[in-house]
Amino acid sequence: MCLDIAYYSALELIDGHFPDLLNDRRILFDPEQYIQVMAMAHLPYPVILFEDGKYRCRYFEWGIIAEYMDTPEKVRTLRKNMVNARSEKVLDDRQSFWYRIRHKRCLIPVTGIYEHREVKGWKQKVPYHIRIKDRPFFCLPGLYHYNEKFPSDPETGEVRGMFTLLTRNANSLMKQIHNSGTNAFRMPVFLPPALELKWLQPDLTDEDIRSLFAYEMPSDRLAYWPVFSIRGKTIRPDGKLKNEPYAFENLPPLRNNEGGTHKQTALF
């Protein structure tokens, strides 16, 4: 699963990427607070939709509450499984919730994601920050849902918008980073810019969707580096930001397809 993302930049970058973008900015967006966003916090996050012939930026909660979660207990228990959706289920499992909402497509703007790597002989997993090279921000495809049974504001009855992030089988690099746990060897559906925009086209067919899911971002298009901590409260000893590189002593390098080592990319 991908449970941590980042958007550490100006929102104006998003404005320039989508023609005539309409913004719904009802919350104060502070990039320093969004340097690490955890899925299980279910906080409002900017997502891009294509509605009524226009690109719109709305603030939705990460993690969908489906209608069958009809008690607070079910929401607490089941929502954690709705922050990510396996792309394979969107088309191939017609009984799944994801198949039913496959036409409700959105893009999730990020400057990067975080994942943990298990290293043999180490007690703690090593967190990594990963992004697409040469892009100040990029967008991850997702699905969204409105649930009238759980309004975001009970007094006004405002319908709560929620989203999930789509994942696929990992490439050779991400297999080495996201290498343990029940959802090991997965990564978000990384796409080049043209395919990101295609994801929002309203006339997308199931075969079009399948072709997008078949795209595998090459490992050499991803920049990555270890960071000190993602969710821990321990203050970094070097005083740097959460998404900046951290040098772990004796950390084994990652291997490329030719048996050599991947060249780690520095943040600055």
- d(C-alpha 14, C-alpha 24), whole Å: 13
For residue 100, is pLDDT > 90? yes
Q: Nearest CA to 151 among 39, 65, 38, 256?
A: 65
Contacts of 124 (CB under 8 A, 6+ apart): none
The CATH number of 4-226 is 3.90.1680.10
| The model's pTM | 0.92
**Residue boundaries of the structural domains of the chain:** 4-226
- d(C-alpha 134, C-alpha 131), whole Å: 9
Higher pLDDT, 171 or 72: 171
Give residue 265's identity as a one-letter amino acid code: T
SS3 238: coil
For residue 200, is pLDDT > 90? yes
For residue 29, is pLDDT > 90? no
Q: Give the pLDDT mean for 237-261.
A: 84
